[in-house]
């Protein structure tokens, strides 16, 4: 996996890539036709680069991978799920600023367990 890049995950690899991953993971649930998703994408890329080896940043296309989206109750996109120790610790729906996303990362993913 290239460091500092957003990794595409699918239903098939979600458990291994996200839930069983040893480090915090952000999953961007998106779709090709979703304009707000396209607006959020550059911010997600910047987060992936800034938190390079501390966090795994992934994208999951909800049209191609409906099982995972359904499992986590994704009803609107873009949705970001924040995983720590294999559990969802925070969820945000819609386009947010980089500062808002970083605040959630710092408060939820790096706070003492």
47-70 pLDDT tens trace? 999 998 899 999 999 999 999 999
User: Of 26, 34, 101, 105, which residue is the catalytic one?
Assistant: 34
Give the CA diameter of the chain.
38
User: Of 9, 18, 25, 37, which residue is the catalytic one?
Assistant: 37
pLDDT of res. 15: 95
Q: Please tell me the distance from the alpha carbon of residue 111 to that of residue 76, in angstroms, as a whole number.
A: 27
Residue 94 designated active-site: no
Residue 70 designated active-site: no
8-24 pLDDT tens trace? 999 999 999 999 998 99
Question: Do 33 and 84 meet the contact criterion of CB atoms below 8 Å apart?
Answer: no
pLDDT of res. 3: 45
**Domains identified in the chain and CATH numbers:** 7-109 (3.40.30.10)
pLDDT of res. 112: 56
CA distances from 38 to 47, 54, 77, 106 (A): 15, 24, 11, 24
Mean of pLDDT values over 78-107: 96
């Amino acid at each position: 996996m290239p460091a500092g890049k957003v990794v595409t995950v699918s239903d098939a690899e979600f458990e291994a890539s996200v839930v069983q991953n040893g480090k915090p993971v952000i999953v961007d649930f998106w779709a090709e036709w979703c304009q707000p998703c396209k607006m959020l994408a550059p911010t997600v890329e910047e987060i992936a680069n800034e938190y390079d080896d501390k966090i795994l940043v992934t994208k999951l296309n909800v049209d191609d991978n409906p099982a995972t989206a359904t499992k986590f109750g994704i009803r609107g996109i873009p949705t970001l799920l924040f995983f720590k120790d294999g559990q969802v610790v925070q969820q945000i729906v819609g386009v947010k600023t980089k500062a808002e996303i970083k605040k959630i990362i710092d408060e939820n993913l790096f706070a003492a367990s």
